[in-house]
Amino acid sequence: AQSVTQPDIHITVSEGASLELRCNYSYGATPYLFWYVQSPGQGLQLLLKYFSGDTLVQGIKGFEAEFKRSQSSFNLRKPSVHWSDAAEYFCAVGARGGSQGNLIFGKGTKLSVKP
C-alpha cells in the first residue's frame, strides 16, 4: 500500500538557519511528489512538486526539494529560514496513470522558528 512517512513531528530552528524536512514514501513505482504548507487556520498551499526530470526542484518562498529514488525520499530544504515559515509542512504522493488524482499525505512536520 502507498504510504508517506515524515519522521519528524516537530522541528525548531533559529531564524536564518538552514532547514531540512524529511519525507520517505512507499510506492510501487515513482509517484508524483508534492510538498504543501499549512499556516494556522489556513488551507494547504502547494510549495513544489516533482513529476520527472531534474531531481532537484525549486518551489515558492525559496524552498527546494530533492528526489532520491534509491532512498525513496523527497526531502524539503531551505537555506535560510524566516519567521514567517513557521507552519506545518506536508509531504504527499499522487499515483501515476489512471484517473484517480487523490493525494496520500504524511502526518506532517510542524516547524517552529526561534528569533
Q: Judged by CB, which is closer to other proteins: 29, or 70? A: 29
Taking the alpha carbons at both ends of the chain, their separation in whole angstroms is 41
From the CB of 38, what's the least distance to other proteins, in Å?
8
Instruction: Pick the stretch among 13-21, 45-53, 62-70, 78-86 that binds other proteins (CB under 8 A).
Output: 45-53
Cell of 87: 507552519
62 near other proteins (CB under 8 A): no
- Closest to other proteins by CB, 101 vs 115, is 101
Q: Which of residues 23-42 bind other proteins (CB under 8 A)?
A: 31-32, 36, 41-42
Separation in Å, CA 32 to CA 50, 82, 101: 6, 28, 10
Q: Please give the backbone phi and psi of residue 62, each rounded to the nearest 5 degrees, phi first.
A: 80, 10
**Binding other proteins by CB under 8 A: which of 28, 40, 98, 115?**
98
CB atoms within 10 A of CB 101: 8
Q: Is 49 in the site for other proteins (CB under 8 A)?
A: yes
Residue 51 near residue 32, CB atoms below 8 Å: yes
Which three three-digit cell numbers place residue 21? 524536512
Judged by CB under 8 A, how many residues of this single chain contact other proteins? 26
CB 81 within 8 A of CB 115: no
Residues in touch with other proteins (CB under 8 A): 31-32, 36, 41-46, 49, 51, 90, 94-96, 98-108
